[in-house]
Amino acid sequence: MNNSKVRIPKEIAPDVFALAAQLYAQENQDYSLEEIMQAGAEVQIPPEVIQQAIQQIQAKQIRERDRQRKLKLMLTSGGIGAAIALFGFWTYNTVASNATPKGRSLEANLPSANLANANPLDIPPAPPPGLPPAAGTTFTGEVKQYLLNPEGKVDGLLLNNGLQVKFPPQMADSLVGIITPNTKVSILGNPGFFTRFGQEVRAKSITNSQTGQTLVEQPPTTAPQPPNLNNYSTLSAEGTAQNWLVGHRGEINGVIISNGTIVKFPPHVGEQLTSMANIGNTIQAKGFGTRNRYGQILEATALSVNGQSVSLQPKAITNP
Protein backbone atom coordinates (compact mmCIF):
# COMPACT_ATOMS: atom_id res chain seq x y z
CA MET A 1 0.00 0.00 0.00
CA ASN A 2 1.26 3.43 -0.94
CA ASN A 3 0.93 5.72 2.15
CA SER A 4 2.71 8.70 0.61
CA LYS A 5 -0.61 10.43 -0.15
CA VAL A 6 -2.10 9.90 3.30
CA ARG A 7 -2.85 13.26 4.89
CA ILE A 8 -2.22 13.77 8.61
CA PRO A 9 -4.57 16.27 10.32
CA LYS A 10 -2.72 19.32 11.57
CA GLU A 11 -4.03 18.96 15.12
CA ILE A 12 -2.43 15.52 15.63
CA ALA A 13 0.85 16.21 13.80
CA PRO A 14 2.68 17.34 16.99
CA ASP A 15 1.62 14.14 18.76
CA VAL A 16 2.84 12.06 15.82
CA PHE A 17 6.27 13.71 15.89
CA ALA A 18 6.53 13.39 19.69
CA LEU A 19 5.66 9.69 19.64
CA ALA A 20 7.99 9.06 16.72
CA ALA A 21 10.85 10.72 18.62
CA GLN A 22 10.09 8.60 21.68
CA LEU A 23 10.03 5.36 19.66
CA TYR A 24 13.29 6.29 17.97
CA ALA A 25 14.92 6.99 21.33
CA GLN A 26 13.75 3.61 22.66
CA GLU A 27 15.38 1.84 19.72
CA ASN A 28 18.65 3.74 20.17
CA GLN A 29 19.65 3.26 23.81
CA ASP A 30 23.39 3.50 23.33
CA TYR A 31 25.82 5.71 21.45
CA SER A 32 28.90 5.02 19.41
CA LEU A 33 32.15 6.73 20.31
CA GLU A 34 31.90 8.68 17.05
CA GLU A 35 28.42 9.95 17.94
CA ILE A 36 29.61 11.09 21.36
CA MET A 37 32.63 12.81 19.80
CA GLN A 38 30.36 14.62 17.34
CA ALA A 39 28.05 15.72 20.13
CA GLY A 40 31.05 16.91 22.13
CA ALA A 41 32.40 18.85 19.17
CA GLU A 42 29.12 20.76 18.92
CA VAL A 43 29.68 22.13 22.44
CA GLN A 44 33.46 22.48 22.00
CA ILE A 45 34.53 19.58 24.24
CA PRO A 46 37.89 18.25 22.95
CA PRO A 47 37.88 14.55 21.91
CA GLU A 48 40.68 13.72 24.34
CA VAL A 49 38.59 15.04 27.23
CA ILE A 50 35.67 12.81 26.21
CA GLN A 51 38.07 9.83 26.04
CA GLN A 52 39.31 10.62 29.53
CA ALA A 53 35.75 10.95 30.82
CA ILE A 54 34.80 7.55 29.39
CA GLN A 55 37.88 5.94 30.94
CA GLN A 56 37.13 7.47 34.34
CA ILE A 57 33.51 6.33 34.27
CA GLN A 58 34.50 2.82 33.20
CA ALA A 59 36.98 2.68 36.07
CA LYS A 60 34.27 3.92 38.44
CA GLN A 61 31.89 1.23 37.27
CA ILE A 62 34.51 -1.45 37.83
CA ARG A 63 34.99 -0.18 41.38
CA GLU A 64 31.23 -0.15 41.94
CA ARG A 65 30.87 -3.74 40.69
CA ASP A 66 33.68 -4.83 43.02
CA ARG A 67 32.05 -2.92 45.85
CA GLN A 68 28.65 -4.57 45.31
CA ARG A 69 30.29 -7.99 45.13
CA LYS A 70 32.07 -7.36 48.42
CA LEU A 71 28.87 -6.14 50.08
CA LYS A 72 27.08 -9.34 49.06
CA LEU A 73 30.03 -11.39 50.26
CA MET A 74 29.85 -9.73 53.64
CA LEU A 75 26.14 -10.39 53.99
CA THR A 76 26.38 -14.05 52.97
CA SER A 77 29.69 -14.98 54.57
CA GLY A 78 31.05 -14.94 58.08
CA GLY A 79 34.45 -14.76 59.72
CA ILE A 80 37.36 -14.18 57.36
CA GLY A 81 35.15 -13.61 54.30
CA ALA A 82 33.23 -10.83 56.02
CA ALA A 83 36.42 -9.23 57.29
CA ILE A 84 37.89 -9.18 53.77
CA ALA A 85 34.69 -7.67 52.35
CA LEU A 86 34.56 -5.01 55.05
CA PHE A 87 38.21 -4.10 54.54
CA GLY A 88 37.55 -3.72 50.80
CA PHE A 89 34.60 -1.44 51.48
CA TRP A 90 36.65 0.63 53.93
CA THR A 91 39.47 0.94 51.38
CA TYR A 92 37.04 2.06 48.68
CA ASN A 93 35.54 4.77 50.89
CA THR A 94 38.93 5.92 52.18
CA VAL A 95 40.32 6.34 48.67
CA ALA A 96 37.15 8.09 47.48
CA SER A 97 37.01 10.51 50.40
CA ASN A 98 40.71 11.37 50.16
CA ALA A 99 40.85 11.91 46.41
CA THR A 100 43.17 14.81 45.62
CA PRO A 101 41.96 17.96 43.91
CA LYS A 102 44.22 17.04 41.01
CA GLY A 103 42.33 13.77 40.64
CA ARG A 104 39.07 15.67 40.44
CA SER A 105 40.24 18.44 38.15
CA LEU A 106 38.89 16.89 34.96
CA GLU A 107 35.33 16.70 36.27
CA ALA A 108 35.54 20.15 37.79
CA ASN A 109 36.74 21.74 34.56
CA LEU A 110 34.42 20.00 32.10
CA PRO A 111 32.04 22.60 30.66
CA SER A 112 28.36 21.95 31.26
CA ALA A 113 26.62 21.07 28.02
CA ASN A 114 23.11 20.44 26.79
CA LEU A 115 23.50 17.62 24.27
CA ALA A 116 19.97 17.94 22.93
CA ASN A 117 18.73 17.35 26.50
CA ALA A 118 20.57 14.02 26.57
CA ASN A 119 23.37 12.87 28.84
CA PRO A 120 24.51 9.52 27.37
CA LEU A 121 27.22 8.96 29.98
CA ASP A 122 25.09 10.04 32.95
CA ILE A 123 27.82 12.42 34.12
CA PRO A 124 26.44 14.63 36.93
CA PRO A 125 26.38 18.26 35.80
CA ALA A 126 29.27 20.43 36.93
CA PRO A 127 28.40 23.17 39.42
CA PRO A 128 27.60 26.47 37.71
CA PRO A 129 30.12 29.29 37.70
CA GLY A 130 29.96 31.92 40.36
CA LEU A 131 30.18 29.71 43.44
CA PRO A 132 31.70 31.44 46.49
CA PRO A 133 35.52 31.53 46.66
CA ALA A 134 37.62 29.03 48.58
CA ALA A 135 37.62 31.32 51.62
CA GLY A 136 34.14 30.04 52.37
CA THR A 137 30.64 31.29 53.00
CA THR A 138 28.84 31.63 56.33
CA PHE A 139 25.62 29.71 56.98
CA THR A 140 23.42 29.54 60.05
CA GLY A 141 20.77 27.14 61.25
CA GLU A 142 19.68 24.73 63.96
CA VAL A 143 20.97 21.16 64.17
CA LYS A 144 18.27 18.61 63.41
CA GLN A 145 20.40 15.46 63.75
CA TYR A 146 23.90 14.07 63.35
CA LEU A 147 25.04 12.62 60.02
CA LEU A 148 27.07 9.41 60.19
CA ASN A 149 29.46 7.48 57.98
CA PRO A 150 29.00 3.70 57.59
CA GLU A 151 31.31 3.10 60.57
CA GLY A 152 28.89 5.02 62.77
CA LYS A 153 31.20 8.01 63.23
CA VAL A 154 29.63 11.47 63.19
CA ASP A 155 30.84 13.17 60.01
CA GLY A 156 28.35 16.00 59.71
CA LEU A 157 25.15 17.72 60.71
CA LEU A 158 21.71 18.02 59.16
CA LEU A 159 20.27 21.49 59.80
CA ASN A 160 16.58 22.33 59.98
CA ASN A 161 16.89 24.48 56.84
CA GLY A 162 18.02 21.50 54.71
CA LEU A 163 21.75 22.22 54.77
CA GLN A 164 23.86 19.06 55.07
CA VAL A 165 27.11 20.03 56.75
CA LYS A 166 30.07 17.66 56.29
CA PHE A 167 33.05 17.54 58.65
CA PRO A 168 36.06 15.17 58.91
CA PRO A 169 35.05 12.00 60.82
CA GLN A 170 38.37 11.97 62.70
CA MET A 171 37.09 15.07 64.52
CA ALA A 172 33.82 13.39 65.54
CA ASP A 173 34.56 13.38 69.27
CA SER A 174 35.35 17.08 69.26
CA LEU A 175 32.26 17.85 67.20
CA VAL A 176 29.77 16.03 69.45
CA GLY A 177 31.50 17.59 72.46
CA ILE A 178 30.37 21.10 71.54
CA ILE A 179 27.43 20.53 69.16
CA THR A 180 24.25 18.59 69.93
CA PRO A 181 20.85 18.34 68.21
CA ASN A 182 18.73 21.51 68.62
CA THR A 183 21.90 23.63 68.89
CA LYS A 184 22.02 26.81 66.82
CA VAL A 185 25.22 26.92 64.80
CA SER A 186 27.20 29.11 62.44
CA ILE A 187 29.06 27.36 59.63
CA LEU A 188 31.96 28.64 57.55
CA GLY A 189 32.43 26.40 54.55
CA ASN A 190 32.28 25.75 50.84
CA PRO A 191 28.75 25.15 49.50
CA GLY A 192 28.00 22.55 46.88
CA PHE A 193 25.41 22.61 44.12
CA PHE A 194 21.95 23.66 45.37
CA THR A 195 19.12 21.15 44.75
CA ARG A 196 15.47 20.79 45.70
CA PHE A 197 16.63 18.18 48.23
CA GLY A 198 19.04 20.50 50.01
CA GLN A 199 22.69 21.45 49.72
CA GLU A 200 25.94 20.01 51.02
CA VAL A 201 28.38 22.36 52.75
CA ARG A 202 31.96 21.25 53.43
CA ALA A 203 32.64 22.99 56.71
CA LYS A 204 35.91 24.70 57.52
CA SER A 205 34.67 25.68 60.97
CA ILE A 206 31.57 25.11 63.07
CA THR A 207 30.56 27.47 65.87
CA ASN A 208 28.05 26.87 68.63
CA SER A 209 26.12 30.14 68.46
CA GLN A 210 24.98 29.82 72.07
CA THR A 211 28.37 29.16 73.71
CA GLY A 212 30.70 30.72 71.15
CA GLN A 213 32.81 27.51 70.97
CA THR A 214 34.34 26.97 67.54
CA LEU A 215 35.75 23.81 66.00
CA VAL A 216 38.15 24.35 63.08
CA GLU A 217 38.85 21.65 60.50
CA GLN A 218 42.20 19.95 61.07
CA PRO A 219 43.99 17.42 58.85
CA PRO A 220 44.31 13.86 60.26
CA THR A 221 47.44 13.25 62.32
CA THR A 222 47.48 9.48 61.78
CA ALA A 223 46.70 7.16 58.88
CA PRO A 224 43.07 5.93 58.72
CA GLN A 225 42.57 2.62 60.49
CA PRO A 226 40.58 -0.31 59.05
CA PRO A 227 37.05 -0.51 60.46
CA ASN A 228 36.27 -2.84 63.34
CA LEU A 229 34.20 -5.74 62.04
CA ASN A 230 32.45 -6.07 65.40
CA ASN A 231 30.84 -2.66 64.87
CA TYR A 232 28.92 -3.85 61.80
CA SER A 233 25.77 -5.91 61.54
CA THR A 234 23.10 -6.67 58.98
CA LEU A 235 20.29 -4.15 59.27
CA SER A 236 16.95 -3.40 57.70
CA ALA A 237 14.81 -0.29 57.92
CA GLU A 238 11.42 0.88 56.72
CA GLY A 239 9.73 4.26 56.89
CA THR A 240 8.92 7.42 54.96
CA ALA A 241 11.54 9.72 53.47
CA GLN A 242 12.15 12.77 55.68
CA ASN A 243 15.31 14.16 54.04
CA TRP A 244 17.08 13.14 50.85
CA LEU A 245 20.86 13.50 51.16
CA VAL A 246 23.08 14.91 48.43
CA GLY A 247 26.77 15.15 47.59
CA HIS A 248 28.76 18.24 46.72
CA ARG A 249 27.65 18.17 43.08
CA GLY A 250 24.00 17.73 43.98
CA GLU A 251 23.88 13.97 43.39
CA ILE A 252 21.49 12.01 45.63
CA ASN A 253 23.48 9.59 47.80
CA GLY A 254 21.19 8.76 50.69
CA VAL A 255 17.94 9.30 52.54
CA ILE A 256 16.90 9.77 56.17
CA ILE A 257 13.67 7.96 56.95
CA SER A 258 11.04 8.60 59.61
CA ASN A 259 12.66 6.46 62.32
CA GLY A 260 15.90 8.44 61.96
CA THR A 261 17.81 5.76 60.06
CA ILE A 262 20.28 7.02 57.46
CA VAL A 263 20.23 4.87 54.31
CA LYS A 264 23.25 5.36 52.04
CA PHE A 265 23.86 4.25 48.46
CA PRO A 266 26.26 5.16 45.60
CA PRO A 267 25.56 8.30 43.51
CA HIS A 268 24.74 6.25 40.39
CA VAL A 269 21.76 4.83 42.29
CA GLY A 270 20.62 8.36 43.05
CA GLU A 271 20.49 9.08 39.33
CA GLN A 272 17.56 6.65 39.10
CA LEU A 273 15.76 8.47 41.90
CA THR A 274 16.03 12.07 40.70
CA SER A 275 12.54 12.18 39.18
CA MET A 276 10.77 10.02 41.77
CA ALA A 277 12.41 11.12 45.04
CA ASN A 278 10.09 13.14 47.25
CA ILE A 279 9.47 13.73 50.92
CA GLY A 280 7.03 11.10 52.14
CA ASN A 281 8.18 8.31 49.80
CA THR A 282 7.90 4.87 51.39
CA ILE A 283 11.41 3.46 51.80
CA GLN A 284 12.44 -0.13 52.46
CA ALA A 285 16.14 -0.95 52.74
CA LYS A 286 18.39 -3.84 53.73
CA GLY A 287 22.15 -3.80 54.09
CA PHE A 288 24.88 -3.58 56.67
CA GLY A 289 25.88 -0.81 59.00
CA THR A 290 26.03 0.34 62.58
CA ARG A 291 23.76 1.45 65.39
CA ASN A 292 25.00 3.57 68.31
CA ARG A 293 23.94 6.43 70.58
CA TYR A 294 24.27 8.90 67.70
CA GLY A 295 21.89 7.07 65.36
CA GLN A 296 21.65 4.23 62.87
CA ILE A 297 23.12 4.02 59.39
CA LEU A 298 23.09 1.28 56.81
CA GLU A 299 24.74 0.88 53.43
CA ALA A 300 21.98 -0.49 51.21
CA THR A 301 22.32 -3.79 49.38
CA ALA A 302 18.58 -3.84 48.61
CA LEU A 303 16.36 -0.79 48.22
CA SER A 304 12.79 -0.03 47.21
CA VAL A 305 10.92 3.27 46.91
CA ASN A 306 7.13 3.23 47.01
CA GLY A 307 7.28 -0.52 46.49
CA GLN A 308 9.43 -0.20 43.37
CA SER A 309 12.76 -2.01 43.52
CA VAL A 310 15.79 0.17 42.76
CA SER A 311 18.78 -1.41 41.01
CA LEU A 312 22.04 -1.01 42.92
CA GLN A 313 24.16 -2.31 40.06
CA PRO A 314 26.26 0.23 38.13
CA LYS A 315 25.40 0.85 34.50
CA ALA A 316 27.68 -0.82 32.01
CA ILE A 317 29.41 1.06 29.20
CA THR A 318 29.81 -1.05 26.09
CA ASN A 319 32.89 -0.59 23.97
CA PRO A 320 32.11 0.84 20.52
In this predicted model, what pLDDT tens digit does every residue of 129-140 receive, in sequence order? 444 444 689 999
Q: So what's the pLDDT on residue 170?
A: 87
Q: Does the pLDDT value for residue 36 go beyond 80?
A: no
Q: Does the pLDDT value for residue 281 go beyond 80?
A: yes
Rounded to two decimals, what is the model's pTM?
0.59
Alpha helices of the chain — where are they, by DSSP H?
13-27, 33-42, 47-76, 79-97, 101-109, 172-178, 267-273
Q: How far apart are CA 153 and CA 124, in angstroms?
A: 28
Q: Does the pLDDT value for residue 119 go beyond 90?
A: no
Q: So what's the pLDDT on residue 126?
A: 45
DSSP code per residue over 110-179: SPP--BTTB-TT-PPPPPPTTPPPTT-EEEEEEEEEEEE-TTS-EEEEEETTSEEEE--GGGHHHHHHH-
Q: How far apart are CA 69 and CA 71, in angstroms?
A: 5
What pLDDT, in 10s, does the model give residues 107-116?
A: 333 333 333 3
Q: So what's the pLDDT on residue 151?
A: 85
SS3 assignment, position 37: helix
- Average pLDDT of the segment spanning 289-294: 92
Q: How far apart are CA 173 and CA 152, in angstroms?
A: 12
> What is the chain's Cα-based Rg?
22
SS3 assignment, position 197: coil
Q: If pLDDT is split at 50, 70 and 90, which confidence band does 157 have?
A: very high
What pLDDT, in 10s, does the model give residues 172-227?
A: 999 999 999 999 999 999 999 999 988 999 999 999 999 999 999 988 777 766 76
SS3 assignment, position 290: strand
**β-strand 308-309 against 214-216: which pairing, if any?**
unpaired
